[in-house]
Structure 1
Amino acid sequence: MANLFSTFDPSTNFNTSLNWLSIFLGMLIIPPMFWIIPSRITILWLNIINLLSKEFNVLLKSSNSKGSTLLLISLFALILFNNFLGLFPYIFTCTSHMTLTLSLSLPLWLTFMFYGWFFNTTHMFAHLVPQGAPNILLPFLVIIETISNIIRPGTLAIRLTANMIAGHLLVTLMGNSGPSLNIYLLNILIIGQVLLLTLETAVSIIQSYVFTVLMTLYSSEV
């Protein structure tokens, strides 16, 4: 069990906690690709940014949201890059830790809440009561809405962490069973590992997109 979870322990590889510095590796890799313009990677990345910017502008539903999409796209890029890093062998997966995921979701959610309650107090109170709800259920609905609002940063963090851990654990479990298999089963295992790695690549993209879109929807409410 210790070997199984060693991928998620920042202090196991090389007996150092410097693995957390992998969060900042993007600063070394991403900027140099803008020196050779127009390269195919740059064109692809700019198309992704433009597509995300248009979608976030639609979700924000506000004319005063200019520039806020930059923060959300940066958040998307950070999570996407760290998710991809975790797919490589012997690289520490930062996004599989609540330390990182909660540090991303909690400050943003608190900022939205402070802004909403200070500047749009009536609007925030209106959100606690669904439209058309019967009067007898209003006290219970207010409690339910309040609880669902409070647990939002936690659900965002747990969703990202659980998805990263689940796929990596499955890859590790399948990989550990390799030495005990014969050549025919080993070929099936390798094919399964390649398919699982493809699925994990898709999950890395989807989870970073889901995290950012949900954060955008939470901000559009205030």
Structure 2
Amino acid sequence: MQKNKTVAGIMAMKKAGEKITMLTAYDAAMAAMLAAADVDVLLVGDSLGMVVLGYDSTVPVTMDEMIHHASAVRRGAPAAFVVGDMPFGSYQSSKRDSILNGGRFLKEAGCDAIKLEGGQEMCGIVTALVQAGISVMGHIGLTPQTATQLGGYKVQGRDIESARKMVEDAVALEKAGAFALVLECLPDELGRIISEEIAIPTIGIGAGVHCDGQVLVT
């Protein structure tokens, strides 16, 4: 079965003005349904900790749990473009750890890419992953793994200083090699500015209508 999408194909959708659809999947049955509906990207999100596993946040989710669910998603949707979400603690400590854990998503679960949270402080990790052959989707704005440091689950980038930092983070992640960027809980206008500032696709979740695509937790 031929693959539906590639990293290059996802990036080309922005240039073509085609909106990108991304939904979360945690098992084979859901993955098969989303693939049948022609969803562009299936995200095996660490949100599975709260949606499926009963945790009160995404922080407790382990790599083994992510690989287990990502493998099921791949079996249910063998031709889909699947992104594995790097759980808390799996990439922040070192480039080596990020490559080893990111590589597991590709080798063991058959994912096409990984997603990680963070801005400029993660650029060295992003570049190391890309140089190792692991495609990276970035994630800025409200980052659930560090929500307590951000004051809880609330909109980010409301003031000029934090909005400027969001734009700088987006530009830095693009330069570091990210092929796409999730924007979570940002003001509509900031989502527009970032989407126009960078060449890679932006995929919004509560970040307004001007993003290049939208993602929802299913």
Normalised-by-shorter TM-score class = under 0.3
Higher relative contact order (CA 8 A, sep 6+): 1
In terms of fraction of residues, the more helix-rich structure is: 1
The structure with the larger Rg is 1
In terms of fraction of residues, the more strand-rich structure is: 2
What TM-score do you get using the length of structure 1 for normalisation? 0.25
